[in-house]
Homo-oligomer: A and B are copies of this chain.
């Protein structure tokens, strides 16, 4: 059995992948753990250790072929494929998310948007028709959706999450400023920009 990879290692792989993509854009074809580490502010030892969990991707003396390493990381992370996701919430925040190009550029396609406000249902949000929440369950099941984004007010987020999980969603990107409780096996990541700002003000002098 393959030994369990620590979550913290997995969480760094997308950062490595992003840096490698940047290096490619800059026209580079080979890199080393030292160069990558310098760019990311991480020790070279950590990068080598992290990568070694998945195999030997480099060559002693020369480093890593960027194209190859990128491909390997994409496969490990399962982002070499395209993913369909649903977005729940068509308010200010949902609207911003729906208009953001970065998701489909990088393989995550929003295929439907849901909201419970009678006046929004049927209207367009970016290129999407806003669907009623009552159809969320059925839609997720039928399209075998694994990933959802929640952009509803905090007080509805848990209930939306429950519906999503019941319908089979296994990964939730939660923009509501609240911790969700989900069963084992369901993954949640949080985005709350204010929280990031609050992590920095501590260090600011008067």
- Taking Cβ atoms with an 8 Å cutoff, the residues of A that contact B are 10-11, 13-15, 17-19, 22, 39-41, 76-79, 83, 85, 92-93, 95-97, 99-103, 106, 108, 146-147, 154, 170-171, 173, 177-179, 181, 187, 189-204
B179 touches A200 (CB 8 A): no
B201 touches A77 (CB 8 A): yes
Copies of this chain, count: 2
Q: Which 5 A-B pairs have the closest CB atoms?
A: A96-B96, A171-B200, A14-B198, A189-B196, A78-B201
B15 touches A195 (CB 8 A): yes
B40 touches A179 (CB 8 A): yes
Knowing that A10-B203, A173-B196 touch, tell me 18 more A-B residue pairs with CB under 8 angstroms: A11-B199, A15-B195, A18-B192, A77-B202, A78-B202, A79-B201, A92-B99, A93-B102, A96-B99, A102-B193, A103-B193, A108-B194, A147-B201, A170-B204, A187-B203, A189-B199, A191-B191, A191-B193
Question: Which residues of B have CB within 8 Å of A171?
Answer: 197, 200-201, 203-204
- C-alpha gap A153/B171 in the complex (Å): 28
Tell which of B79, B198, B201, B204 touches A198, judged by Cβ atoms closer than 8 Å. B79
- C-alpha gap A76/B14 in the complex (Å): 32
B194 touches A189 (CB 8 A): no
Select from chain B the residue with minimum beta-carbon distance to A102: B194
Tell which of B39, B93, B195, B199 touches A179, judged by Cβ atoms closer than 8 Å. B39
Select from chain B the residue with minimum beta-carbon distance to A74: B198
A194 touches B103 (CB 8 A): yes
